[in-house]
Structure 1
Amino acid sequence: MNWNDLRYFLILAEEGSLSGAARRLRKEHTTVARRIEALEDALGTKLFDRLPRGWQLTLAGQNLVPVAERVEEEALSFERLAKGDEAAHGVVRISVPPVAGRVLFAPRLAQLLTAHKGLEFEVIGASNVVNLARREADIAVRMIAPHEPGLITRKLVELGVGLYAASGYVDRVREEDWEFCGYEDTTYGASKKDWVRKLMGRELPCRFRADDTESVRQFIAAGHGVGVLPRYLADGDSRLDLIRADTTGESRETAWMVVHPDMRRSPGVRLVMDALIKAADSISDEFQV
């Protein structure tokens, strides 16, 4: 039996669908299906029922989940401790939100990569929260406060936001006709929506929602409506006008650095941690208010 197949088994059990598991694993859905079938063949038992609405654990699969979790945790702990004793070389997996990673942190990380020829970076530019215990990443930057127990966290920076519209939108469109370019119904999206409601004294109609900041920026720039953007991204965009900055910090975005305790001992991870801290320290004060 290939013990790495246990990871496929557990993630598919959590997601309940090949597509969801494939996204988490960053593999083709056919690869996930093939690995599960190989595991079933090795064990001689069926682990999932293939249903039209998704893959559902059989009774045998349900019984094996806690056992697989214990085996996986031991294997991952072994791997993390081994990696912690390495020199500063090899692959470091870094999870960072796409826009913040590209604009704020990529330049500093690129300098680090140039200076250390033995290092390799795998940047996971996903908005979802990766599981550090499972080594979906070695280190993560998050725009929401971490809540998982046992992780090492550090606040990197607080970033200011503002309400923006396309240049000339305020003059062309009556305020009572403004529309809102919003985010998905998450804690992040709800906080932005609440701030605009307080600012405007009413809730703006919203016919567009996205799960990433760049899409919201493009719709605002195209003249669809108004929306909330981080100032480090929007202030330099000549297509946009700042309507109101969040000077009270009600909707300010906090960037957190998160790492598993076992990985902090890795020289490569420590270098990345230092680079992220220096990148945050160099962010202009105007983007923090």
Structure 2
Amino acid sequence: MNWNDLRFFVAVAEEGTLSGAARRLSKDHTTVARRIEALETHLGAHLFDRLATGWKLTDAGENLVPVAGRIEEDVLAFERQARGDETAHGVVRISVPPAAGRLLFAPRLAELLRDQRHLEYEIIGSSVVANLARREADVAVRMATPAQSGLIARKLTHLRYGVYAAKGYTERVPEGDWEFCADGSFSFGHYQQAWVWKMLNRQLPVRVRADDSQTVRAFVAAGHGLGLLPRYMADVDDRLERVFDDAPGEISKPVWLVVHPDMRRSPGVRMVMDALIKTTESIPAEFKS
């Protein structure tokens, strides 16, 4: 099988039309059609229904998309390395939430920076969502489902949460006097808080609200009540103990990798994306679902 045919398959699957795939691959549409037909013949499987409105994946095609995508990434990385174009130049602007950026992604990105002497980073460590269309960032890690149209998004993982208190708090403070530190006023924060009330079978007084998990952790560690925190952050904090866990993953939070289509083929951006993907693969299993 010609492994390069997988690039054509992935492009048509994602674009939905021959013309869109042809533009993306800088090929004419007849070449794209011919490569897809060659792949179908080799596999003995019908991958697309040819409709007037575009090419729609069959069930067999749908099943192959995730596998083909991973193979495509590996093949492209192999080709870049073989041709000596793995060296990237210039600045890559990376938007990533502060805590996740520092604790989860920075070590892997630092390894890449060490290996690529001509690559530079500009880290946008803010909870404010960067606008990729306006080049506020080249690639972003987001803890919410991307709402902006026209972007390429890949779900990396789900991060698990637990309810924590300072060590000894639950023994030292009568249960009737427990308080809760709330994380933000966004819809997900409200959903999380309702889940905690369900687990406790009652509501707790809330006198502290913060818009980031690090602030919640600081108040909880100082002995001010319970707080809902991501496990990758709280499990490694010796000041805290987990009161109960979200074992079924009911409130796990999705992590998305987002890039603008115009930036996806930039060597530097591609390498940063690969590093971020590898990072999520290496997150300990107990921290993700």
Q: Same fold (TM over 0.5)?
A: yes
SS in 1 for 2:268: helix
Structure 2 partner of 1:159 = 159
Counterpart position of 2:13: none
1:252-267 correspondence to structure 2 within 5 Å: 252-267=252-267
Shift of 1:245: 0.6
3-state SS, counterpart of residue 182 of structure 1:
strand
The one-letter code of the counterpart of 1:110 is: A
Q: How does 1:71-82 map to 2 (within 5 A)?
A: none
Alignment of 1:85-164 (within 5 A): 88-164=88-164
> How far apart are residue 188 of structure 1 and its match?
2.9
Give the Å deviation of 1:87: 6.7
Mean Cα deviation higher: 193-202 or 117-126? 193-202
Aligned to 1:190: 190
**Which residue number corresponds to residue 214 of structure 1?**
214
Question: What is the count of residue pairs matched by the alignment?
Answer: 205
Q: For 1:199-231, what per-residue CA distance to the aligned partner results, in whole angstroms no more than 9, with x for missing partners?
A: 112221110011111111010000000010111
**Ranges in structure 2 where 5+ consecutive residues have no aligned partner:** 1-85
Q: Which residue of 2 aligns with 1:274?
A: 274
Q: Write the distance in 1 (CA, Å) between the matches of 2:169 and 2:192.
A: 20
Structure 1 residue 248: Cα displacement: 1.5
Partner of 1:37: none
Q: CA deviation at 1:148?
A: 1.1
Q: Displacement, 1:191?
A: 2.3
The structural deviation recorded for 1:253 is 1.4
Q: What residue is the counterpart of 1:170 in the other structure?
A: 170
5+ long unaligned stretches in structure 1: 1-85
Query: Identity percentage over the alignment?
Result: 60
TM-score norm. by structure 1 comes to: 0.69
Structure 1 runs, 4 residues or longer, greater than 6 Å off: none
Counterpart of 2:109, as a letter, is L
Query: Any conservation in 2 of the 1:165–1:242 contact (CA below 8 Å)?
Result: yes
Q: Equivalent residue of 1:165, what SS?
A: strand
Q: Which secondary structure state, in structure 1, belongs to the residue aligned with residue 141 of structure 2?
A: strand
8 Å CA contact 1:87–1:266 kept in 2: the answer is no
Judge conservation of contact 1:158–1:255 (CA < 8 Å) in 2.
yes
The code of the aligned residue for 1:242 comes to: R
SS of match in other structure, 1:281: helix
* DSSP 3-state at the match of 2:122: strand
User: What is the RMSD computed on CA atoms of the aligned residues?
Assistant: 1.5
* CA deviation profile, 1:109-152 (whole Å, cap 9, x unmatched): 00000000110000000001110000000000000111111110
